[in-house]
Structure 1
Amino acid sequence: MAKPPSTRKKATSATSSDDTPPDDQDLEENPATATITVTAVEIPELTEQEISDRLNLERKVERAFFEAGKALMELRDRRLYRSIHRTFEEYCRDRFGYTHRRVNYLIAGSVVFDNIATGTNCSQNEGVDETGTNCSQNEEADETGTNCSQNEEADKTRPNPSRILPTNEGQVRPLAQLEPQQQVEVWQRAVQEAGGKVPSARIVTDVVQRIMERTKVPNTYQIGEVCQILVKDNPELRGKGGCWAIVSAVNDFSCTLRMWDGEYGVGLQHMKSFNYLPAECEQMREICDRINRLRENENLEEAARAVLKHLGELKQPYLTGVEEKLLMLLESEYGVRIIL
């Protein structure tokens, strides 16, 4: 009788007719009379507990970069590094070997992962045959945000496309420029194009680019224009809401902005023009240049940094009398030549 379909077989080593492992010399001397048999060994299927354990471990692997980003965000927000390092950037570099950019990518990636996990529900996927998800909105969501009761009866040995989550930060990086709802939709489309598997960063990028092309809004910003930062859900811009920034490069869907503490790539949805006059824009560019020259000094003290931070958060295109004196004092103290 044939074995059930769920039973797999594995070949063991060859044996002679008397079940004694054949000697190489015997095979050479009597090649015609040697008899070789194969014994089938059943490999049992996973138990319910083993399947549950596997799914839990897979979820931990999926959430690895998400947990790292969440932990970094809490370390930063609670300033838990303050007893051993002056800045969060120095702490991450010394403790983890992470650059400032890498930290921002992980934090932003964790936000996108969270949006995808909590946004993957049946109300968004209802009627989409490609994902196999078609459920009521009122069913209780599981911890990944997928609230399909029919999934409880699904074959647990196969991945459910509606529950496929990112496994590394690079896969979600292209989504950071989108709104949370768009992130969910683009990710689900990318999963479909990957055949129900975790899509590569290239597939996600291709989907994002196609959507951006269909909804392309002309970038009307000009180099040298002064803009206001709109943080929204971009963790890289945290603490910079309302601050000024100067456009240094114009791209299709974003601009490179020069701020008091460096340059940032910012999507159009995170920018708003101050509509300053040309002369006012020129004044802000001069202030920005002076602040950045001071920041290059390795011996800059915390008090000086605090002053520069204040000037980097101005809501007007000029310095008051006191602010101008403070800036000139720092330039004199640190030997920075004023270039006007």
Structure 2
Amino acid sequence: MNKPPSRRKKTTPAASNDSTLPNDLVEEDISPQENPATATINVTAVEVPELTEQEISDRLHFERKVERAFFEAGKALTELRDRRLYRSTHKTFEEYCRDRFGHSRQKSNYLIAAADVYENLTTICCQNSGIEDLTTNGSQILPTSEGQVRPMTKLEPQEQWQVWQAAVQEADGKVPTGRVVKDVIERILERTKAPNPYHLGEVCQIIVKDNPELRGKGGCWCIVSHVGEFTCTVAMWDREYTMRIDHLKSLNYLESECQQMQEISDRISRLWEKGKLEAPTEAVLKCLGELKRPYLTEFEEKLLGFIEQEYGIVD
């Protein structure tokens, strides 16, 4: 029987000064039995250069711009609304917001209210820190979205500051979510028994929750007619209701808008007090009670005026 040929390992000549091995020698140095999992891989470390002072300043500047985006939007909407800069193309601010920005008037009101809270926080922070411009202070945690400050819109400026600091602390020094801010407010209210946040004449939205008496009224507007310690009496399109404050949500209307809604409410109440209303009339009043805006359209005004005339109600 012939003997199988033996495999000999080639060696590199000792006298060779060439650091590059021939291809056949390189192949022979890698053992076919070597386990790839145990192979050693050399990784070259890449050094990341530190930020320069200018880059650090630029980063902070841009971060503050991102944080202030919702604030700038709220302040701009305030100018557009208060100066009626939409009047050349739209009759109402609501129509303008919907057509130009694709969101409701309520969304605009949220942004406007949030901008006020943000301004209060930065003003108090500057006063406490002794600085004039927070864009140069990277250590101060500020809100970055409207939803984070929405729960604080009903609080006084100093209360907003205290709540925000407590929420930042609860979030381990990071920007807290709106849920964290709301939890902080609820704990403070429970601890201090803060007064009812609503006031006479305020326009609110009904939140049904667990109150069967309010079934079918979810989303309807109402006007606060009495403020208790933990409840409110509100006037709706059909009658008055007394409910806990957690069944209400403020619509953040301006004082003038609340007065407009009060006038509409009074007109509806006078009709309702007539009694024995026909079904179409009740349907119209219910529809007006579900308005998502603080005014009547031209058609709604004519329709309500016609009904008032039919039932003998004259101003």
Q: 1:56 to 1:219 in 2, by over 3 A?
A: closer
Q: CA deviation at 1:110?
A: 0.5
C-alpha distance after superposition, 1:168-222 (max 9, x if no partner) = 111101111111110011101111111111011111111111111122256599x
1:111 paired residue number: 116
**Conserved 8 A contact 1:294-1:331:** no
2:92 paired residue number: 87
Q: CA deviation at 1:98?
A: 1.0
Residue 183 of structure 1 is aligned with which of 160, 180, 183?
160
Distance 2:145 2:197 in 1: 34
Q: 1:299 to 1:185 in 2, by over 3 A?
A: closer
- Ranges in structure 1 where 5+ consecutive residues have no aligned partner: 1-16, 124-134, 152-158, 231-243, 271-281, 306-326
The reply on whether 1:331 has 2:302 as its aligned counterpart is no
SS of 2:46's equivalent? Answer: strand
- Count of matched residue positions in the alignment of Structure 1 and Structure 2: 235
Q: CA deviation at 1:166?
A: 0.2
Q: 1:164 to 1:84 in 2, by over 3 A?
A: same
Of all paired residues, the percent bearing the same amino acid is 48
1:55 paired residue number: 60
SS of 2:200's equivalent? Answer: strand
**Conserved 8 A contact 2:141-2:174:** yes
Q: 1:257 to 1:82 in 2, by over 3 A?
A: farther
When Rg is computed on C-alpha atoms for both structures, the one with the higher figure is: 2
SS of 2:91's equivalent? Answer: coil
Residue 41 of structure 1 is aligned with which of 35, 43, 46?
46
Distance 1:254 1:285 in 2: 20
Distance 1:219 1:113 in 2: 23
SS of 1:42's equivalent? Answer: coil
The alignment's TM-score, normalised by the length of structure 1, stands at 0.55
Q: 1:46 to 1:164 in 2, by over 3 A?
A: same
**Conserved 8 A contact 1:293-1:336:** no
CA RMSD of aligned residues (A): 4.8
Distance 2:88 2:141 in 1: 40
SS of 1:43's equivalent? Answer: coil
Distance 1:66 1:75 in 2: 14
Q: 1:99 to 1:59 in 2, by over 3 A?
A: same
**Conserved 8 A contact 2:224-2:233:** no
C-alpha distance after superposition, 1:60-100 (max 9, x if no partner) = 11001111111111000010000000000000011111112
**Conserved 8 A contact 1:255-1:265:** no
The alignment's TM-score, normalised by the length of structure 2, stands at 0.59
**Conserved 8 A contact 1:248-1:258:** no
Residue 301 of structure 1 is aligned with which of 292, 298, 301?
298
Distance 1:285 1:80 in 2: 32
Superposition map of 1:246-257 within 5 A: 246-247=224-225, 252=230
Distance 1:179 1:248 in 2: 22
Residue 76 of structure 1 is aligned with which of 51, 58, 81?
81
